[in-house]
Structures are given as C-alpha cells and as structure tokens.
Amino acid sequence: MRPIVRHGTPVDLEGSENQHLKDDLDRNRKPELRRSLFQLANSVIPYLALWGAMIWSLQVSYWLTLALSVLAAGFLVRIFIIFHDCGHGSFFKSSRANRIAEFFTGVMVLTPFRQWSRQHAQHHATSGDLDRRGFGDVWTMTTKEYLAASRGERFGYHINRNPFVLFVVAPIYVFFIRQRLPAKDVGPREHRGLWMANAAIAAVAVTMGLLIGFKEYFMIQIPVMFFGGVAGIWLFYVQHQYENVYWARHDKWDYTTAALQGSSFYMLPKVLQWFSGNIGFHHVHHLNSRIPNYKLEECHLSDPVFQDVTTLTLRSSFKSIGFRLWDEDGQRMTGYAPARALRRAAAAV
C-alpha cells in the first residue's frame, strides 16, 4: 500500500511506525452491547412516540403535523445510521443480531437490507476510483469527459446534478420507488430479501391504514420520509463532494488515501451530530467500516492523523452545491464555468 501524504507527512497504515494507528482503529471496532441497545432505544422509542403525536396532531392542524414530521425525520436519520451499521456488521457482535436489527430498521427506513448492504459495500470498495464509478455514488464527470460529451449527455448530467433534483426529487424517487425494485445485478438471496422487506413495509402500511386511515397514514409517512431523505442524501453528498476531494485512476488509486482524503470530517453542531449518528466522522468510517457509529468520534480524537483531514462546517458545506466536475489536471472539483471557458477557447482556435 502506498503511503498517503497529509501536509507533507507520509502516512502508511501498513508501516510498523504507524502500528498505533491500526491499533486505534482495531480497538474502536468492538461494539458494546449496552451502548448499542441504548442507542436503539433512544432512537426508535422517540420516533414511535412522535408517530403517536403526529396521529393526534392531524385533529389539530396539519401544520403541527408537518412540524413534528421534521423532528421525526431527525430520529429516522438516526435509525438509518443504525441500519447502516448493522449492514456493516458493526452494531452488534452477533451477525444474527445485526441481520435481525437491519431487517426491522430497514422496514422503518423503507430500505431493503441485503441489496442495500451489498451496494453500500461496493461504494466503500470503490470510493474515489475514477475507473469504478457508479457504485453508490453521485454521478461525477471529469472536465474532459464533460467537454467530450454530446449535448444530450451534458443536458442529462445537468439534470442529475441540479440541486432540486438531487435534494427534492431524489429522496422521493430513491425511498419510494428505487428501493422497491431489484437492482440489475441482484442475486436470488438479495431478491428474496427485497421482497421480504417490501412485504413487511406493505404490511405496516396496510395495518396503519386500517387503524388510522390510509390518507392519514400517507399524510404522515410521506413528509417524514421526505425530510429524512433530504437530510440523508445531503449528508452522503457533502461528505464526498468538496473542492479538494480525492479521485484517482484505478492504477493509482489507494484505499487509505481515498478514506482520509476522499471523505470529509463534517463538523456539525452537537445536536445535529447526535441525530446524524456521528456519520460526520466519515473519514474514520471509511478507514474501518466495522467501527460502530458511537465510537467514531473517540477514534477521530485518538490520533492527530485522523484529525488532519478536510473539515467542513455546516456553513462551509453549502459551497459544495456549486461543484459539478472533477478537474483531473487541477486535482479539484469545479463548477461548469471553467469547462465552458475551455470549450470557448478551443472553439476560437
């Protein structure tokens, strides 16, 4: 494994001189049953209580329902992080316990557990690899690819990268449509898991519809999933789409470098850090996905190497919306303007 360079200092996690870094990662990868159960309780119980409050609020004002749905969406994001950890096998020591928790939390977040876990594992294995794009990432063209693309291809790219599509349309499409359908490369086991999840989700919807009314159920479920989906997609987007992010061709790609340079540290206010299940420590998560979310901050603070990464704040992260293309020559994300300038210059020659 090639050493990475942070501010001129090589970091080789395989080197004996950095054994302590591997030790820090390994030490924090052990889940603690008490902490896992406590997090499960303080996420699921308030979420279900808020559902009860939203059912009651429909008799008072739908605006009150929508206000409560924003808070419920925060807990739903936290539940998704538990689902996510179970998919990595990091929430419980027992693989069976992880599978059971992943199934039930997956039903709550409308996500099929087996199919999603495989696709997300592919994301971890290929993140930052220009020659293996398309596995759980946001479609990113290089500047040269954009310039060589047809007008129709550029139009499609503009649509896909449009903030309204990314953060308004995508949450609805992903959680209500795409997650209901099998992926092209789905295997028999994942196919069964998908329909098991769909059947469980349908059973919950029918049960709630019979209890409180189908209209009332969807008046609650849709905004909760929408607000939760917007937050979830934003978190995923911003942690891999920033100016000095890491992308490399496969022959030069390195997993450790991709983790530390291709995943940001999203330093959120403490309350948002809590609701997002510490996923802002994304660089640590990509270094070792077996570390449970409640230990990511501990690992981050255990060594300066883990802290010497790109840090985004809530305010600075909004700059990422303007990044559209990867400039291979400049090794940074840019907007469309530099590419357009190059196209005009080429046309003038």
Is residue 118 assigned to a domain? Answer: yes
Q: How far apart are CA 176 and CA 291, in angstroms?
A: 30
> For residue 112, which of 193, 228, 225, 200 has the smallest C-alpha distance?
193
Is residue 337 assigned to a domain? Answer: no
Q: Which residues pair with 232 in a beta bridge?
A: none
Domain that holds residue 130: 28-139+162-317
In this predicted model, what pLDDT tens digit does every residue of 280-298 receive, in sequence order? 999 999 999 999 999 999 9
Is residue 216 assigned to a domain? Answer: yes
pLDDT at 239 over 60: yes
Is residue 17 assigned to a domain? Answer: no
CA 85 from centre of chain: 12
Which of the given ranges, 124-133, 221-230, 247-256, has the highest pLDDT on average?
Answer: 221-230
Percent of the chain exceeding pLDDT 90 equals 73
Is residue 4 assigned to a domain? Answer: no
In this predicted model, what pLDDT tens digit does every residue of 321-337 receive, in sequence order? 999 999 999 999 999 98
Count of structural domains within the chain:
1
pLDDT at 194 over 50: yes
Looking at residue 2, its pLDDT comes to 37
Is residue 253 assigned to a domain? Answer: yes
Q: How far apart are CA 164 and CA 167, in angstroms?
A: 5
Is residue 16 assigned to a domain? Answer: no
Q: How far apart are CA 347 and CA 349, in angstroms?
A: 6
In this predicted model, what pLDDT tens digit does every residue of 157-168 receive, in sequence order? 999 999 999 999
Instruction: Report, as an integer, the average pLDDT of 214-232.
Output: 97
Is residue 331 assigned to a domain? Answer: no
